[in-house]
């Protein structure tokens, strides 16, 4: 455990649910943890005991990718973790594959509606039609314009035309909208939607204060999705589909909204372990990105830098093709925060590469 983690509190210690197991973490809430074939090797799903439109059962928060191993784990949870009751609603925090991949399967199997933000629903449908943001020729051309000239890496990005579709082969044909500030009634509790930006188009976290004092002091529960992770920093990227976005500023503004919640609220994240110390974690994330921005600014003070030039500044390890895509997006997010903030200016050189330099230089 690193020194930042030691500032947080993990009520369950090192306990995590075994594959196919659902572990109770709060009254009426169970935690399942499913494997992923990436460096980030798991995603957390939460099962909330519910009665919806007259049906007794469970509202599921997030789904995992559509893969044989994921379906197998779901079959075990359905057989042993739901008390013989059905899934009555599928709630998805955002459109990334590890969160929405099996929504179509669960919704069809249990005749359960999908709940998601409108932006992420349509972003998921669009992502199924092309590789925007994750691969294909547009992504390769975009990253090449920001200095990535390694032909082997670009070839791998061009070949990734089915990255999203392989993990999200379908999405339900209809949805019900989650919207910032609205309350969703789940299991007799009101859960307030909190929209977040920068990581996904319109990520929805949910907070409920309707828990008794003996549940971590009665400070409530936050289903944080990917916006409130305890150990790693959420990926914040600029991609070809929105090439001039200021994703990092949006993200930092979004997580500040969690400071309105009680400091002691019990946070159930999409990756890592349930924790308390949300305000501390928000501060840690601000510190992390402040330090990275300072490093990027310093690099650009030494001379014009492309996003590819910034990779070794932000990432001090070897990157595979999958990691390079997100690393380029992260480098651009930091450059764009400084560019939009007026500290850097950019220009395209004779080789067609965007380079950033100090605004006064």
Q: Point out the least confidently predicted range of 102-116, 117-131, 241-255.
A: 117-131
pLDDT at res. 33: 97
Total Cβ atoms within 10 A of residue 343: 17
For residue 317, count CB atoms less than 10 angstroms from its CB and return exposed for 0-12, middle for 13-18, buried for 19 or more.
exposed
Q: What is the mean pLDDT of the chain?
A: 94
The candidate with the shortest Cα–Cα distance to 178, out of 208, 203, 198, is 203
pLDDT at res. 121: 98
pLDDT at res. 361: 67
pLDDT at res. 153: 87
The pLDDT confidence band at residue 131, using thresholds 50, 70 and 90, is low
H/E segment holding residue 289: helix 278-301
The Cα–Cα gap between 332 and 117 comes to 26
pLDDT at res. 311: 96
Compute CA distances 109 → 78, 86, 87, 184, 355, whole Å: 11, 9, 9, 23, 50
pTM above the 0.75 mark?
yes
The Cα–Cα gap between 169 and 337 comes to 34
Compute CA distances 56 → 17, 31, 52, 76, 89, whole Å: 24, 19, 7, 20, 11
The pLDDT confidence band at residue 161, using thresholds 50, 70 and 90, is confident
**Domains located in the chain, CATH noted:** 5-297 (3.60.15.10)
The Cα–Cα gap between 283 and 152 comes to 39
Compute CA distances 189 → 49, 50, 106, 193, 292, whole Å: 10, 9, 23, 13, 40
């Amino acid at each position: 455990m690193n020194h930042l983690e030691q500032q947080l509190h993990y009520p369950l210690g090192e306990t995590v649910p075994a594959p196919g197991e659902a572990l109770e973490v709060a009254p009426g809430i169970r935690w399942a943890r499913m494997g992923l074939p990436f460096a980030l090797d798991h995603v957390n799903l939460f099962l909330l005991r519910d009665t919806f439109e007259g049906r007794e059962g469970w509202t599921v928060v997030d789904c995992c990718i559509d893969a044989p191993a994921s379906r197998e784990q779901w079959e075990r949870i359905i057989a042993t973790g739901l008390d013989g009751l059905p899934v009555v609603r599928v709630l998805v925090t955002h459109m990334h594959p590890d969160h929405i991949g099996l929504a179509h399967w669960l919704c069809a199997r249990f005749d359960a509606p999908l709940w998601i933000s409108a932006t992420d629903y349509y972003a998921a449908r669009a992502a199924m039609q092309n590789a925007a943001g994750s691969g294909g020729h547009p992504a390769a051309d975009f990253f090449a314009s920001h200095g990535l000239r390694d032909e082997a890496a670009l070839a791998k990005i061009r070949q990734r035309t089915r990255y999203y579709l392989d993990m999200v082969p379908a999405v339900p044909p209809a949805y019900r909208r989650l919207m910032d500030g609205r309350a969703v009634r789940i299991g007799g509790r009101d859960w307030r939607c909190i929209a977040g930006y920068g990581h996904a188009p319109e990520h929805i976290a949910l907070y409920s204060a309707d828990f008794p004092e003996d549940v971590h002091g009665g400070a409530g529960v936050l289903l944080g999705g990917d916006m409130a992770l305890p150990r790693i920093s959420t990926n914040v990227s600029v991609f070809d589909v929105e090439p001039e976005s200021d994703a990092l500023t949006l993200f930092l503004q979004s997580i500040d909204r969690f400071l309105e919640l009680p400091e002691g609220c019990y946070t159930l994240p999409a990756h890592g372990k349930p924790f308390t110390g949300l305000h501390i974690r928000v501060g840690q994330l601000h510190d992390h990105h402040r330090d990275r921005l300072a490093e990027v600014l310093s690099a650009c003070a030494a001379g014009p830098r492309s996003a590819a030039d910034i990779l070794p500044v932000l990432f001090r390890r070897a990157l595979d093709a999958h990691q390079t895509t997100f690393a380029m997006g992260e480098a651009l997010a930091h450059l764009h925060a400084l560019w939009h903030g007026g500290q850097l200016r950019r220009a395209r050189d004779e080789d067609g590469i965007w380079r950033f330099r100090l605004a006064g230089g």
